[in-house]
């Protein structure tokens, strides 16, 4: 009997467990408690402690990187056959990987596919970059960063309505289906793992909540993509009006400067109109955005004629590669 362990602490982990436990025996779960989930700023964190009732073993990690003696002892003691990672945004230490008979598998992808676009937040970066496709892989964890051999690859579209949430849903469905198709072959050793394509790998940088600040020098299309890329379950895009922070979760392009509209003389960041629904129209380079969902402790600055500003010293300028994208080769 194959002993299977899942790593994760997010709502996506819960979804995977609910799907897999209906057809497959899951012997262990490695997760984080709410305090550590908050401390680590895990987007989409979910308290999975209720799985104590349905799984033989639930291990609450002492350290998110699983490098404590307490965590290592758990794996040494249980000696699982195979592991699956979803909603666990850390590498799995090599000492832990060695305790699995078959190996540990997870998902990683990028718009160009591996080995390009390893690293952090590739789906968020794909939205920011305006990509149209995303290749996602069920791959085996090794000691390096997203460098293991691949069991299966899937591809899905990135459209103009997609957000960070919808791309995570697409990736989640891909992972569930690929695990279901490959689980038995992986467990009995008959699966054919394929090495990643040759080429100099590139890596996306880590994004922090502070990187959600809006750069008003960007055009309306880039700001629309940016808002969709960092919306829930992440912390959202933000800027300031009269010193008050406003976080924007959903907006849509309302005008472009290719059409006649009455706000062409306004400056980027200007609030052009506030509607009875409290939705408001924001001038951007090249057009205007209608803001549908936002959060503001004090909505009094959200008035026609006021202006959003983002201090230049708060805007982190990520380096770009020779093609203008954000995945960089190793230095």
Average pLDDT of the residues in 293-315: 94
Average pLDDT over residues 309-327: 96
Read off the pTM.
0.93
29-43 per-position pLDDT tens digit:
999 999 999 999 999
The yes-or-no verdict on residue 111 having pLDDT over 90 is yes
Q: Cα–Cα distance between 269 and 162 in angstroms, integer?
A: 24
pLDDT tens-place string over residues 45-93: 999 999 999 999 999 999 999 999 999 999 999 999 999 999 998 999 9
Residue 196 has pLDDT above 90, yes or no: yes
Residue position matching structure tokens 């592991």? 83
Query: Does position 141 have pLDDT exceeding 80, yes or no?
Result: yes
Indicate the domain borders of the chain.
4-204, 209-314
Percent of the chain with pLDDT over 90: 92
E strands, the chain, in order: 4-7, 28-31, 57-60, 82-85, 103-110, 118-119, 133-140, 150-157, 202-204, 237-241, 244-256, 271-274, 280-284, 287-296, 308-309, 328-329
CATH superfamily of 209-314: Formyl transferase, C-terminal domain (3.10.25.10)
Q: Tell me which fold the domain 4-204 belongs to.
A: Rossmann fold (3.40.50)
List, for residues 230-279, the tens digit of each pLDDT value: 999 999 999 999 999 999 999 999 999 999 999 999 999 999 999 999 99
Q: What is the mean pLDDT of the chain?
A: 95
């Amino acid at each position: 009997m194959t002993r299977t362990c899942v790593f994760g602490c997010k709502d996506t982990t819960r979804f995977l467990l609910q799907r897999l436990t209906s057809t497959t025996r899951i012997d262990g779960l490695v997760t984080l408690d709410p305090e550590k989930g908050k401390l680590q700023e895990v987007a989409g964190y979910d308290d999975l402690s209720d799985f104590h009732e349905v799984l033989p073993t639930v291990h609450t990690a002492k350290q998110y990187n699983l490098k404590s003696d307490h965590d290592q002892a758990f794996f040494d003691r249980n000696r699982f056959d195979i592991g699956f990672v979803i909603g666990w945004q850390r590498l799995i230490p090599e000492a832990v990987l060695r305790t699995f008979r078959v190996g540990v598998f997870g998902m990683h992808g990028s718009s160009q596919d591996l080995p390009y676009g390893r690293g952090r937040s590739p789906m968020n970066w794909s939205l920011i970059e305006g990509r149209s496709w995303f290749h996602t892989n069920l791959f085996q964890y090794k000691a390096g960063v997203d460098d293991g051999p691949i069991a299966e690859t899937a591809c899905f579209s990135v459209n103009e309505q997609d957000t960070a949430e919808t791309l995570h849903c697409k990736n989640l469905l891909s992972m569930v289906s690929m695990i279901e198709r490959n689980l038995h072959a992986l467990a009995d050793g008959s699966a054919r793992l394929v090495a990643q394509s040759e080429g100099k790998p590139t890596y996306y940088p880590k994004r922090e909540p502070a990187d959600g600040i809006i750069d008003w020098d960007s055009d309306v299309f880039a700001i629309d993509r940016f808002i969709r890329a960092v919306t829930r379950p992440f912390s959202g895009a933000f800027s300031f009006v009269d010193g008050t922070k406003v976080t924007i979760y959903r907006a849509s392009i309302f005008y472009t400067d290719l059409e006649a509209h009455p706000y062409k003389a306004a400056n980027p960041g200007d609030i052009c109109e506030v509607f009875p629904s409290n939705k408001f129209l924001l001038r951007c380079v090249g057009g205007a955005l209608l803001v549908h969902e936002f959060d503001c402790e004090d909505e009094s600055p959200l008035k026609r004629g006021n202006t959003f500003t983002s201090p230049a010293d708060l805007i982190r300028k990520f380096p770009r590669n020779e093609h203008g994208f954000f995945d960089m080769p190793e230095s």
